[in-house]
């Protein structure tokens, strides 16, 4: 069984051990003799303790312990010299050599600036096309200076071509195009706009290969042919040739590239109401319409239309079905003019969009190196080799696969024109010719994320592609004669710039390497130094010389890579030596170890074996003896103090001290010397006149103590504060209290008695108002209105007594309170009179804290005027008017009841009575409806313009909400009412508090409810009370939803549930559709040329 250290007495008070007792005896001996011997030093400075071996932490009470200053051989620390080497290297900053490119044969990546993966993928596809890259490099330097876009593109391509770094910063090019690097865009749209911009920029070049490089490589042509079924002639518009840079193919419902091409070139029949008007026949006739390819570019791009519009939800969705495409594509039989020749294209790039949403996701590109035939994956900064397979050798990704197709037969025989036009002519279904057919095995690839396919025309075995196409009578858009050759060299102006960048980068790698080696050497040398010094640190024999050194500096030296000079000043006393009080902060270092430290770090001062402070030892011995004497005296005085508080018979002269002070003195622990709390034993019983305070005064309670105890108090108080005579005044037992203070206390007592009588008289004169009882009202009698706020202050004032009387403020004069209830402009009332209720034959005032006035009797009014400064001419009188429908019913006097609506409602409900008649109050002066209306309008506007307030929404699972919810949602809550912010689960459903503002729309509130309760916004039926809240565009203020309101919502379950992320994604998509590339250089009509 392993030993487990106990922690039971961890927090208990430390008991003195044998060593402390020995030290105490040594100090007493020093105090008595005044001499310090070597044995005394060995004992007090703990030199006698053995050298510590293997403790976990550095022990403070052993100057011979050097453990714990360094970690074990296999250990480390979080910072400093003994930090892990990997973390130290990490603190030097990023290693630039990690970004070193393996070789120029391995492509480089492009940095993603946030959401620029769409641009990176397209730029990599263009760069990896050697012909396009060579055309960009051939642009003249002077043209590049005038065209910022071309200049940045050429520099970007040059860095991708010859940079030593494994990735290139795309920021200069992105900033030149003024793109928002935080917004994801469509790669197809970016490529289309980029081609258009590059064509405009390249017009300024005089190099033919560069000027038309975009058209020569990427431009093809089509025509929309309409043929009359009666006369067989084509329409005039059929001869119109239109250019294209990519073919946009449908994917929905189609499984392969061949099917999509067939769909693209399919024949549409124009019949019935959709008949075509033939100018040759001069009548509307049946016709056919189709797209015909007229010429194909050297680089054929297919844009797969994976984004479809959903009319039901008015949103867009991505098609993620698998789509097959071949590694080798024969387009010859799809050209009417080239039906007898092969036009073979090889797959060169696949642009992939990862993710299920249209407006988000991530773009990567798989591109084939034309020189080596290897495929590479370009994922922003990361470029990885895939081998000879576009999706990697032995790819097991669920989204991609490759299958070996059946042998594809390319026929050199003629193919019927109608078969080609109808789109039914597939490679595997072409007629076979035993003599001239060639059988090839074509790989078919499948992907559910492929977004764009790029094919490059294969070189002819017999000669130049252009010459072959001209022999076949096909016009190809390659007038510059660019051949897709292997070698591409950088022009001199770009080569010099790249060489300079590479030199700077290699120099940074070299500097980092040197810095790293230097830092590691310094650390290793320092670690070796620390271990070597500590191995020699212990003093082996009593006769050996040694030096004292600060433990704090020693830790600093052992933990830091670059320690400061030796600093022993913190362990010195005023005499410049080592006092015994610092023994827990010093170590005893051998002379050899001290020499090694001092020679390297200097500093000091050097404190040798004999530099112990004898003066401090003598002074410490005296202090200890004095402390023991003080503790003994205080213990004896404590018994006298307890007897004095107990009132036991005391002999001899007696003196007054503060009773509260004496209690505090007894509660303090037994200390070694007087402290601040020992001052002022009579401060609280001394009056401002310097005499004894009367005992009736607040805090002047006192107690008599014997003369010996008083002398001890006086001595210790003067020791702490010798100049504070007021806090230690002497008051013998026969001292008379101060006459002036006694007189003042008597006057205050008289005033308090007078005020107590006045309050009692107020409560007697206005008994019902003071107790809050209801006052029966009668028609035809005269009453008065009193401000409710003033009456509340009056109640608090007359009810306050004792200590609370001082905190209760006296109400203002009645005249001022009434003036505040009248408007200055019209001298009419600013508050409406209180509402009345007629129940059980008695007219009573409704109880409401919001009423501005309270009805009082004429007698109450007169008494208030006498006591509180009211005037008859300033009064607000009132009369009760009862409608004639009440008849001559008797109005008896009710028994006294508290003014409580709940109390009266309870009686009425118990008796089954319900009265609907409402008596009215007529006031003089009248109510100012104009001023009240303006004030209420301002209050309503202020209430509607709230911000960051809470409302409660309850989700009701049943058909009807409980009555408590209806009442809470139908009424306004007080502004100061506190509401819980937690989600509460009840029998009828859940309730949650939402933080909203007056400008929050109903749509935003429904989205919060959707997120919290999982009810789609279309299924939410939102209520406030019995009112249904419709629409989504209105704000909470528009529909009178205020802070503290309780709403309830039910689930109609009409629409099917969907993820809230789809709704948020659709919102973001709509914003992006509106913006797109608007505001960038890609959509600017002005020239990109530098002015």
Annotated catalytic residues are: 117, 362
Using CA atoms of 185, 186, 192, 196 in order, give the dihedral in degrees to the nearest 10.
Answer: -10
Q: How far apart are CA 566 and CA 639, in angstroms?
A: 53
Which phi and psi angles does 539 have, rounded to 5°?
Answer: -90, 120
Residue 490 preceded by cis peptide, ω within 30: no
Q: Please tell me what DSSP assigns to residue 52.
A: P
Which phi and psi angles does 44 have, rounded to 5°?
Answer: -70, -35
Nearest to 606 by CA among 577, 579, 630, 631: 577
Query: 3-state DSSP call for residue 547?
Result: strand
Instruction: Read off the tokens for 191.
Output: 């490529």
Residues 6+ away with beta carbon under 8 Å from 337: 294, 472, 473, 474
Geometric angle at alpha carbon 755, from 749 and 758, rounded to 5°: 145
> Is residue 563 packed enough to be buried (19+ CB in 10 Å), middle (13-18) or exposed (0-12)?
buried
Query: Which CA distances in Å does 926 have to 791, 854, 923?
Result: 21, 16, 5
Hey, which residues does 352 pair with through a beta bridge? 364, 450
**Contact present, 599 and 567 (Cβ < 8 Å):** no
**Contact present, 350 and 366 (Cβ < 8 Å):** yes
Q: State the CB neighbour count (10 A cutoff) for residue 924.
A: 12
Nearest to 447 by CA among 353, 356, 380, 362: 353
DSSP conformation letters of 19-47: HHHHHHHHHHHHHHH----HHHHHHHTTT
Strands 566-567 and 283-285: unpaired
The angle, 0 to 180 degrees and rounded to 10, between the axes of the packed helices 130-137 and 148-162 is 120
Hey, which residues does 603 pair with through a beta bridge? 566
Q: How far apart are CA 84 and CA 91, in angstroms?
A: 11
**Contact present, 1041 and 138 (Cβ < 8 Å):** no
Q: What are the DSSP E strand ranges found in 572-619?
A: 586-590, 603-604, 607-608
Q: How far apart are CA 144 and CA 431, in angstroms?
A: 53
Strands 299-305 and 287-295: unpaired
Give kind and range of the element (H or E) at residue 175: helix 171-176
Q: How far apart are CA 723 and CA 1022, in angstroms?
A: 77
Residues 6+ away with beta carbon under 8 Å from 191: 122, 245, 246, 301, 452
Residues 6+ away with beta carbon under 8 Å from 307: 316, 317, 318, 319, 358
> Is residue 196 packed enough to be buried (19+ CB in 10 Å), middle (13-18) or exposed (0-12)?
middle
Residue with the two structure tokens 């003067």: 718
CA 382 centroid distance within chain: 30
Which phi and psi angles does 882 have, rounded to 5°?
Answer: -115, 135
Residue with the two structure tokens 């506190």: 978
**Contact present, 279 and 230 (Cβ < 8 Å):** no
Query: 3-state DSSP call for residue 1034?
Result: coil
Instruction: Read off the tokens for 889.
Output: 């019913």
Strands 268-270 and 287-295: antiparallel
Geometric angle at alpha carbon 528, from 523 and 529, rounded to 5°: 95
């Amino acid at each position: 069984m392993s030993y487990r250290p106990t922690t039971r007495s961890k927090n208990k008070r430390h008991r003195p051990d044998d060593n402390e007792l020995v030290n105490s005896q040594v100090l007493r001996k020093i105090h008595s003799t005044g001499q310090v011997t070597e044995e005394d030093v060995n004992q007090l400075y703990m030199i006698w303790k053995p050298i510590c071996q293997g403790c976990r932490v550095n022990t403070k009470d052993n100057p011979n312990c050097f453990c714990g200053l360094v970690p074990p051989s296999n250990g480390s620390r979080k910072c400093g010299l003994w930090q892990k080497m990997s973390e130290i290297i990490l603190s030097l900053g990023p290693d630039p050599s990690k970004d070193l490119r393996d070789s120029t044969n391995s492509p480089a990546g492009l940095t993603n600036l946030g959401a620029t993966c769409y641009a990176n993928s397209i730029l990599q596809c263009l760069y990896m096309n050697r012909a396009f890259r060579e055309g960009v490099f051939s642009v003249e330097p002077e043209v590049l200076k005038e065209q910022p876009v071309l200049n940045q593109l050429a520099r970007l391509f040059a860095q991708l071509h010859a940079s030593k770094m494994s990735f290139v910063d795309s920021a200069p090019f992105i900033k030149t195009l003024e793109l928002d690097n935080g917004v994801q865009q469509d790669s197809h749209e970016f490529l289309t706009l980029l081609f258009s911009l590059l064509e405009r920029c390249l017009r300024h070049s005089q190099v033919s290969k560069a000027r038309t490089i975009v058209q020569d490589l990427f431009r093809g042509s089509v025509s929309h042919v309409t043929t009359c079924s009666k006369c067989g002639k084509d329409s005039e518009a059929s001869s119109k040739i239109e250019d294209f840079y990519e073919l946009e193919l449908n994917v929905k419902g189609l499984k392969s590239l061949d099917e999509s091409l067939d769909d693209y070139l399919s024949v549409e029949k124009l019949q019935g109401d959709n008949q075509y008007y033939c100018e040759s026949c001069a009548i509307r006739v049946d016709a056919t319409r189709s797209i015909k390819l007229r010429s194909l570019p050297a680089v054929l791009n297919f844009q797969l239309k994976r984004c479809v519009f959903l009319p039901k939800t008015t949103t867009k969705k991505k098609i993620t079905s698998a789509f097959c495409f071949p590694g080798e594509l024969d387009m010859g039989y799809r050209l009417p003019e080239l039906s007898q020749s092969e036009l073979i294209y090889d797959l060169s790039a696949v642009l992939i969009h990862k993710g299920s949403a249209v407006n988000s996701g991530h773009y990567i590109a798989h591109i084939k190196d034309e020189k080596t035939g290897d495929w590479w994956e370009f994922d922003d900064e990361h470029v990885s080799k895939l081998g000879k397979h576009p999706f990697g050798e032995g790819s097991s990704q669920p989204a991609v696969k490759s299958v070996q197709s059946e042998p594809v037969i390319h026929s050199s025989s003629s193919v019927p024109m109608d078969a080609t036009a109808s789109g039914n002519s597939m490679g595997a279904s072409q007629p076979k010719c035993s003599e001239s057919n060639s059988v090839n095995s074509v790989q078919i690839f499948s992907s559910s994320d492929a977004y764009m396919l790029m094919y490059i025309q294969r070189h002819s075995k017999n000669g130049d592609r252009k010459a072959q196409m001209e022999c076949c009578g096909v016009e190809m858009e390659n007038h510059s004669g660019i051949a897709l050759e292997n070698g591409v060299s950088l022009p001199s102006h770009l080569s010099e710039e790249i060489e300079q960048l590479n030199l700077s980068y290699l120099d940074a790698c070299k500097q980092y390497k040197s810095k790293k080696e230097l830092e590691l050497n310094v650390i290793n040398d320092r670690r070796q130094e620390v271990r070597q010094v500590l191995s020699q640190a212990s003093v082996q024999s009593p006769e050996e010389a040694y030096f004292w050194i600060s433990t704090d500096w020693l830790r600093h030296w052992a933990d830091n890579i670059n320690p400061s000079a030796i600093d022993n000043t913190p362990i010195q006393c005023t005499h410049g030596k080592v006092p015994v009080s610092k023994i827990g902060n010093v170590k005893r270092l051998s002379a050899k170890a001290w020499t090694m430290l001092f020679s390297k770090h200097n500093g000091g001062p050097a404190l040798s074996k004999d530099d112990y402070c004898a003066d401090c030892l003598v002074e410490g011995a005296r202090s200890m003896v004095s402390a023991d004497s003080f503790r003994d005296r205080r213990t004896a005085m404590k018994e006298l103090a307890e007897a004095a508080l107990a009132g036991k018979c005391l002999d001899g002269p007696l003196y007054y001290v503060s009773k509260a002070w004496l209690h505090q003195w007894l509660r303090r622990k037994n200390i070694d010397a007087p402290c601040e709390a020992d001052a002022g034993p009579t401060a609280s019983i001394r009056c401002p006149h310097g005499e004894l305070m009367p005992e009736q005064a607040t805090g002047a309670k006192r107690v008599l103590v014997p003369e010996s105890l008083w002398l001890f108090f006086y001595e210790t108080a003067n020791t702490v504060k010798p100049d504070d005579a007021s806090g230690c005044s002497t008051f013998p037992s026969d001292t008379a209290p101060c006459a002036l203070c006694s007189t003042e206390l008597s006057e205050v007592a008289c005033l308090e008695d007078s005020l107590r009588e006045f309050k009692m008289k107020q409560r007697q004169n206005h008994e019902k108002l003071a107790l809050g009882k209801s006052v029966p009202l009668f028609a035809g009698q005269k009453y008065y209105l009193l401000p409710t706020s003033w009456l509340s202050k009056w109640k608090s004032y007359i009810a306050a007594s004792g200590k609370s009387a001082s905190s209760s403020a006296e109400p203002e004069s009645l005249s001022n309170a009434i003036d505040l209830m009248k408007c200055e402009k019209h001298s009419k009332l600013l508050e409406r009179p209180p509402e009345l209720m007629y129940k059980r034959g008695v007219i009573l005032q409704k109880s409401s804290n919001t009423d501005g006035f309270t009805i009082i009797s004429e007698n109450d009014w007169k008494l208030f005027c006498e006591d509180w400064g009211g005037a008859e001419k300033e009064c607000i009188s009132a009369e009760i008017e009862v409608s004639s429908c009440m008849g001559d019913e008797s109005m008896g006097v009710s028994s006294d009841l508290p003014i409580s609506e709940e109390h009266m409602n309870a009686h009425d409900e118990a008796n089954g009575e319900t009265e609907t008649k409402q008596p009215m109050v007529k006031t003089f002066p009248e109510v100012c409806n104009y001023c009240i209306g303006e004030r209420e309008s301002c209050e309503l506007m202020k209430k509607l313009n709230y911000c960051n307030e809470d409302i409660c929404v309850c989700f009701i699972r049943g058909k009807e909400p409980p009555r408590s919810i209806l009442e809470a949602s139908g009424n306004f809550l007080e502004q100061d009412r506190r509401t819980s912010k937690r989600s509460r689960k009840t029998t009828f459903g859940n309730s949650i508090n939402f933080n909203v503002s007056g400008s929050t729309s109903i749509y935003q509130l429904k989205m919060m409810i959707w997120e919290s309760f999982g009810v789609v916004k279309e299924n939410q039926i939102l209520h406030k009370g019995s009112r249904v809240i419709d629409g989504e565009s209105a704000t909470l203020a528009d529909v009178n939803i205020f802070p503290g309101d309780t709403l309830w919502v039910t689930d109609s379950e009409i629409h099917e549930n969907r993820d809230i992320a789809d709704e948020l994604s659709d919102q973001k998509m709509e914003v992006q559709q509106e913006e797109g590339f608007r505001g960038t250089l890609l959509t600017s009509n002005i020239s990109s040329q530098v002015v």
